[in-house]
Structure 1
Amino acid sequence: MQKPIKLITLYTHICESYKNELQWEVKRFSPNGNIGQITDEELLTIYLFCTMYEQKTTKRAMYEHIIDYWHSWFPALPSYKNFSVRLNNLVEAFQLLLSLSMEEFELSADKIPILIGDSMPVITCSHKRRARVAPDLADKSYCATKNLHYFGVKIHALNLHRKTQLPFPVKIGITPASAPDITTLRPVLEVTHVQAVFLDKAYCDKNLKLKMKQNENELLTPIKKMKGVSAALNQFDKAANDLFSTAVSTIRQPIESFFNWIQEKTKIQIASKVRSKSGLLVHIYAKLVASVLMLLQF
């Protein structure tokens, strides 16, 4: 599909969503604030189009790209400062659009619903620097996967497992970087109704497993060594435990591929150029919307 057709298709989709749902979530500062100006639908389309099809991942790069190649399509494009401010006012619209986009996915009736989950960091700055962006949301933490101390937030995701395809997200949330994974997902997992949920060792919790068992859900995690158990007993069970842990990790692996794919396509983990809380939330939610739309083969 040629890019002009993709742009028109995306804009039509955004307009329909805006008319039905998004318009009620947009900040209004005056009753005639948009007369003669670029519309919210156009701003949403610019961000998503540049992310999905033009590999532009910062507001500045998007703005300059539209000026150079697509300005005739958006003749009311304002100055960069106003462009950035208007986008930051669309945080709630991007957040709702993410929920609406995830709801468009339908799992085939013959498929067994299996969830896999994990979290990924979004880094606003190094731990060696003084953090100034979104101090009420971002904080300091350590990412074992990257062996990195950082300031920022974490994206938590529960995805439907799909054979030979990237898992599709059904639940996504944002927390401070220091928030424990199990504390964040516990309220969601306790009311989840699927056949099984595959998570990592951070979610090993007997009470959570029992609670999920009552809802006919199975929580499966790699085996975690028990404190106070003798080395002989650990060695006795080692072969079986290793096989089970390997099987769980194999099923969980696509969630890592999902996060790596999002980072490759949108550079979502790099938020060092963000200067405000609203800018950080737009950076995250807009890129997640673009990722979900790409998974839907939009």
Structure 2
Amino acid sequence: MKLGINLLCLTDFVTEAHLPAIRQIKAEGYDGVEIPVLSGDPAHYAWLGQQLDALELERCTTSVVPSPDANPLSSDPEIRARGKAHLDWALDCAIALGAQSVGGPIHAPIGHFTGAGPTESEIAYGAEAHHALAERAEANGLYISLEHLNRFETYFLNTTTQCRDYARRVDHPALRIMYDTFHANIEDRDQVAAYEIVAPHVGIVHISENDRGIPGRGHIDFPAILGAVRRSGYDGWVTLEAFGAGLPAIAAATRVWRPLFPDYETLFTESAAYIRRTWDAAGKELAA
């Protein structure tokens, strides 16, 4: 298992000002970071990659589809072309960063709804765009990790059954799924069964508590989930995702307006210890 942390807990754009916190993350024993790629250019991420290399931190990225005007699912060919160009930009930044995976809900604009579930044409357009992206990613030594979101954030990928079916539709080994415990807690009735449905396609596991705070302080059954993860043979990124109220741009997207952890030191330290302890306990139970 590689222990990661999504840096959206700090910022939506990582700069030199965030390096002290990233050094603290390294000191707490994290193996890598998940870098938000929501703006900027490849040159900036190449610089950031050099900083992470110096700290011996591995990295992945997380991105979104920013607007209905750049939607890879659209029936309008011009909008669809802008959506594909945005996906290519996200991949270009990840390549410059030296990332292992491009993740996140890079399938449909967050908060945009049509009043129905995904249509066959949207699924077909998305599968075409993601197959092409996976081809480029694989050629550059990366893979894609599509994240399912709950129904209040998107209509495209909500359940793990949808994720499994979509991964089969895309049909490329570099297209994987980012399993997120927060979203599955809303959309799937049984997280162990949900994980088992999508397990062959998982590229990253997001550990996110039901309130988006410190894992282990809420009601999500992480011992059972990580037990399922270990039984599946998965041994990749297990990444903390938590959000605070100090970042207005992120708070608006996540609907988090109150503090969910007392300070960053507590978040980093307690989360790392809890995830490693729970992972190790699941391994002992598997070996028994």
TM class by smaller structure: under 0.3
Asked which structure has the greater RCO (Cα within 8 Å, sep 6+), the reply is: 1
Q: State which structure, 1 or 2, has the greater radius of gyration over its C-alpha atoms.
A: 1
TM-score (norm 1): 0.24
TM-score (norm 2): 0.25
